[in-house]
A and B are shown apart, each in its own frame.
Chain A
C-alpha cells in the first residue's frame, strides 16, 4: 500500500467537494479498493471514507419501492425484513455475495460503483429496473453500467441510494467461480410492472439484458420457453475458469433455473 491521506467527512456535500479531486478515491466497504491498494495497483492521494455520513445508511420503503442507502452492508440487506417481504430475490442475492466477512463490510453503493463484471448487485439493479440515486441526479439502472468497471457516474458524483421497484416474481441464480466464488454467470429474472427482465452478470464485460429470453418469457413465464434460446458466446468473457462458449451455455442454464425458482 502506498501512503495516502485519509478523510472521513460527516456530510455528503463535504465528501462530494473532496471527491472532485481526481487523484482521490471514494472508500465505501473497501472490499475491492483495499485489496487493490494492498497490491499497489492504485495510488490515490486521498481516501474519502463515506462511513461517517449517516444519511447514506439504511433501508426504507417509499411508496411501493424499497430504497437502500448506498452504505448499507450486504448482510443487512440479506437480513432485512422489509427487503425479504417486498423483494425476497434481492435479499437472496445479497446473501450470496462473497463470504460472511465480505457481506458484513461490503456495501451496495460500493459494489455498483465499482461495476465489477462478476459482481452480483448489477444483476439486481438491471433485473429489477432499479434507479440509482446520486447526489446530483437519478440514473435508470439500464443506463448505469456502461462497460468493464465503467459506469455513468461523473467525477465527484456519489451514489446515495438505490431504489428498487417490487416485482411480481423474481429470482437470482448464480454459478460461482470455484476459486473466487464470484459469478462466472449470474442471472436475475423478474416479472415486473414494466415487463419481464432477464439480467446477466459475470458472462460479459458488463451486466446485460437477455432480450430474446425476455421476449419469450413475456409470452409464457416458464423455463421451457427459453430452452431453445441460444446465447451467443461472441463478446463474452473467457478465462482459465470458463470459456465464452461455456459461459454462453451457463446463461441458459442459470436463466431456466431462475425461472423455475420463481415458482
Chain B
C-alpha cells in the first residue's frame, strides 16, 4: 500500500480551505446587482388565506416586487414534484396532492410560505414581509398520525380520506399468519421512532440569476444533488430546458438528507431573478430551517415476533403509521416503504415477514430522508423486539441473535422482503464488539454500580443497511421516477495530471480525498496530481448526487469504469509507441510496459502523446485522453455490523451517562480508514442524539415547540464519550471495488444499542421498554412509575 493509495489514512485535501475559513458556501457568494428575498411564512398550522393585501408592503423602502401564488400561476409555474410513486395494498396509486411553491389559498403547516418579497436588502425584504396583511381563517389542525387517521379529524387534503396518502404492504401475510399459528412464543411491542430536525450546520441558501443576453438561468443552491434539482425544477416547476439552466452546489455544510430535495425557495429565486432581471438571493435563518427543512423519522409502530421453543424466529408482523407532514417532499414516500419494509429481515433468517405502512398527512413540516432514512427505523424496531424476546424467554440477547443470524455460508441470501444480500458475517462483528466491551464480565460492573446506587446496563444492536440504492430497473419497478446510476469523467491533461468530474456531491464526506486516492492508486500518479470536481451542472456531464451511502459503491464504481477506459486507451497508444502488440502491454505502477521486457512508457508520456499525436495510431484512435463512464449497480450493497453501549443511570436525576460505545462494522473494502472513522463518529453522534436528546415536538395546534436550539437538544461533544471502533470486511461481490458504504451506519446501529442498554439498566425495576429520547425527565418518570409496583411486590 502506498502512502496515498487505497487503504491509506490520507489527511483530507479539502480541510485546508475549511479549517482556515476559505470554503465557498452559497451564502459566501454575492452576485453583482443582487436583490434579496424574504418569505412571509404562515404562523398557523392550518388556515384558509381569505385575503392577502400587499399594497402597503409594496410601498416600503427598497421593495422591488412581492409575489404570491397568483403570480406563479399566471406564469404557469408548476408544483414541487414527488419522485417516488407508491401503490396501496389494493393497487391504487397514492394520493398525490399538489405542492405549490407558494401557498394556494390554504396553509398547511407553520412555516408554509405565502409570499415572496424581493428587495434591495434582506432587512428591507423582511420589513416589507411583515407589512403584508393576511386575513387567515384558522382551521383545526392535527399533528399526530394516530389522531389524523380517525374519522372526524381535521382533513388536510380533501382527496386524502382520513388523511391517508397510501396503505402499503410488503411480504407474505399468509405465511406470517401460519408462522404465528405454530409459534411457541410471541413477543409484542409498540414503539415510537421520534421525529427529528436534521439541523445541518449550514442553513439552506439559494441565489438565482438570469442572463438576459443568453437566456440562461443559474441557480446556486445548498444541494446534495444539483443535477437532480436541475431536472426537477427545470422539467416540472419552471419549464426551463437543461441547456439553459445551470445548477451549482458549491461547498455545502452538511446535508444528512435534508438537502436532497427540491425546495420552493430554489424555484422562487430562479423564477424571480428572471422576473426582476436581477440576481435574487435567499439565506434561511435558523428559525426558518426548523420550519422548512424536511424533517426525519416519526413512526408509530406495532410489531410482533413469533419464535419457536428454541428461540428461532418464525415470523415478523409489523404495522407502522408514518408521518409525511403536510406535503409530499421529493423522496418522502419511498422512506417508510422500500427503504424500511425491505430491511425488516435485518441480520436474521426470519422466514416470513409482513409489513404494512400507512402514510399519513399532518399539519407539520414535510418528512423525508434523514441519515439512514427508513433503515434506522427498521433496525431500531428489530433490535428492540429481539431484546424484548430475549428477556421474555430468558435467553442472553447475544445468544438469541447468534441463533438467528444468517449463516456465513448462506450468501447470496434471499430475504422474504425482496432484498438479496451478497455477502456478510454478522457473527464476527458481534463478537468483536462484545469482546471489546468486555461483555462477559458486565455483571460485576452492574453490581459495583448498584453499590453506589446507580443502575448500570449494557445493550447491543446489530444492523444491516441497503446502500447505493439500485439497480435503476428495480427502483423503477418499485415506483422510483428516476434512475439511480452514477457518472464519472476522468480527464487526463497533456502533462499527465487528472481532473476527475463526479456526479456525486461532497458535503462533508471527504470525496476530494477519497476519490483522489482511488484515481492516484489506479493510475500510479501522485495524489496531488488529481483534482476532484463536483457540484456544478455546467462542469459535470450528469450525476445523481450523494445520499444513501452511495458515493463510493456507485460513484466510485463509475470512476473505476472510467479509469479502466483510460488505461485501455493508454495501452493502445503505448503499443503503437513501443511497437508491440496491445495484448502484450501491461499497466502497473504508472507504467505501460511490454510484458517480460524493460521497454516502457510512463503514464505522463502516454498522456502527452494523446494530446500531441505526432507518433500516433491516428487512423484507429482519436487523440485525447478523456473518458466518461456511467455505472448502474447490479444490486444494493449491504454494510452491516454490531454496536454495544454501556450506560449508567442516576436514579435521583434520571440522567443517562454513556460509559462506553463500541462499534464493529463491515463496510467492505475501505479506501481511507480515517475518513470512514469520521463518518462513523458523526453517525454515532446523530444516532445517540436521537436516542438520548433530540425530539421535534409540535403542540396540538401545530405550533413547533422545539423551534430553536433552546428547546431542541442537539448532541454536543461533552454529551458523548470517546468511541471504540473496529471493522471486519467481507467484500461486496458485485462492484469493482468491493465497497459497501459507511455514511449512515453509525446512525442506524446506535439508537437500538443505547435503548437496549437503558432498558437493561432499568430491568431490575421491571422496565420492558422506553421510547426515545431517553431524556432525564422520561427516565425519572419511568423509574417513579415502576418503583411503587416494586414496593407493592
Contact = CB atoms under 8 A, between A and B. Distances in A.
**Most chain B C-beta atoms within 10 Å of own C-beta, residue among A1, A2, A39, A240:** A240
B709 A250 contact: no
A1 B127 CA distance: 9
Given A1-B123, A241-B777, A179 B709 contact: yes
B711 A180 contact: yes
Contact of A179 (B123, B654, B712, B780): B712
A250 B651 CA distance: 11
A242 B779 CA distance: 11
A243 interface: yes
A233 B366 CA distance: 38
Nearest to B709: A179
B693 interface: yes
Nearest to A249: B780
Interface string B694-711: 000100000001100111
B713 A246 contact: no
B780 A240 contact: no
A243 B287 CA distance: 26
Contacts of B654: 246
A242 B287 CA distance: 23
Contacts of A182: 710
B652 interface: yes
B143 to A, nearest CB: 14
Contacts of A249: 780
Contact of B713 (A175, A179, A242, A253): A179
Contact of B705 (A2, A175, A240, A253): A240
Nearest to A185: B653
A180 B716 CA distance: 11
Nearest to A38: B285
A263 interface: no
Given A246-B780, A253-B652, A178 B709 contact: no
B3 interface: no
A39 B714 CA distance: 20
Contacts of B174: none
A204 to B, nearest CB: 17
A178 B713 contact: yes
B783 to A, nearest CB: 11
Interface in B770-793: 775-777, 780-781
A241 B779 CA distance: 12
**Most chain A C-beta atoms within 10 Å of own C-beta, residue among B123, B127, B653, B712:** B653
Interface in A216-251: 240-243, 246, 249-250
Contacts of B127: 2
A219 to B, nearest CB: 24
Contacts of B775: 178, 241
Given A39-B287, A243-B777, A179 B710 contact: yes
Nearest to A180: B710
Contact of B653 (A179, A241, A250): A250
A5 B635 CA distance: 64
**Most chain B C-beta atoms within 10 Å of own C-beta, residue among A1, A39, A241:** A241
A240 B123 contact: no
A183 B28 CA distance: 37
A178 B622 CA distance: 64
Given A242-B777, A246-B780, A253 B710 contact: no
A128 B491 CA distance: 72
Given A241-B777, A246-B777, A175 B709 contact: no
B712 A253 contact: no
Contact of A240 (B653, B693, B697): B697
A178 B123 contact: no
Contacts of B693: 178-179
Contacts of B123: 1
Nearest to B715: A178
A242 B713 CA distance: 13
Interface in A21-80: 39-40
A85 to B, nearest CB: 28
A240 B287 contact: no
Contacts of A250: 653
B110 to A, nearest CB: 15
Contacts of A253: 652-653
A178 B780 contact: no
A244 B712 CA distance: 20
Given A178-B775, A253-B653, A246 B781 contact: yes
A39 B654 CA distance: 33
Interface string B631-665: 00000000000000000000011100000000000
A107 B693 CA distance: 29
A253 B453 CA distance: 14
A74 B653 CA distance: 27
Contacts of B705: 240
Contacts of A175: 653, 776
Interface string B278-305: 0000000001000000000000000000
A42 B650 CA distance: 41
A246 B784 CA distance: 10
B711 A240 contact: yes
A95 B587 CA distance: 63
A8 B709 CA distance: 31
**Most chain A C-beta atoms within 10 Å of own C-beta, residue among B127, B693, B706, B780:** B780
Nearest to B650: A253
Nearest to B654: A246
B777 A179 contact: no
A117 to B, nearest CB: 13
Contacts of A178: 693, 713, 775-776
Contacts of B714: 179
B100 to A, nearest CB: 27
19 contacts: A39-B287, A178-B693, A178-B713, A178-B775, A178-B776, A179-B693, A179-B710, A179-B713, A180-B709, A180-B710, A180-B711, A241-B775, A241-B777, A243-B781, A246-B777, A246-B780, A246-B781, A250-B653, A253-B653
Interface of A: 1-2, 39-40, 175, 178-180, 182, 240-243, 246, 249-250, 253
Given A39-B287, A179-B714, 4 more contacts: A175-B653, A240-B706, A241-B777, A249-B780
The 6 closest A-B pairs by CB, nearest first: A179-B713, A178-B713, A180-B710, A253-B652, A179-B711, A246-B777
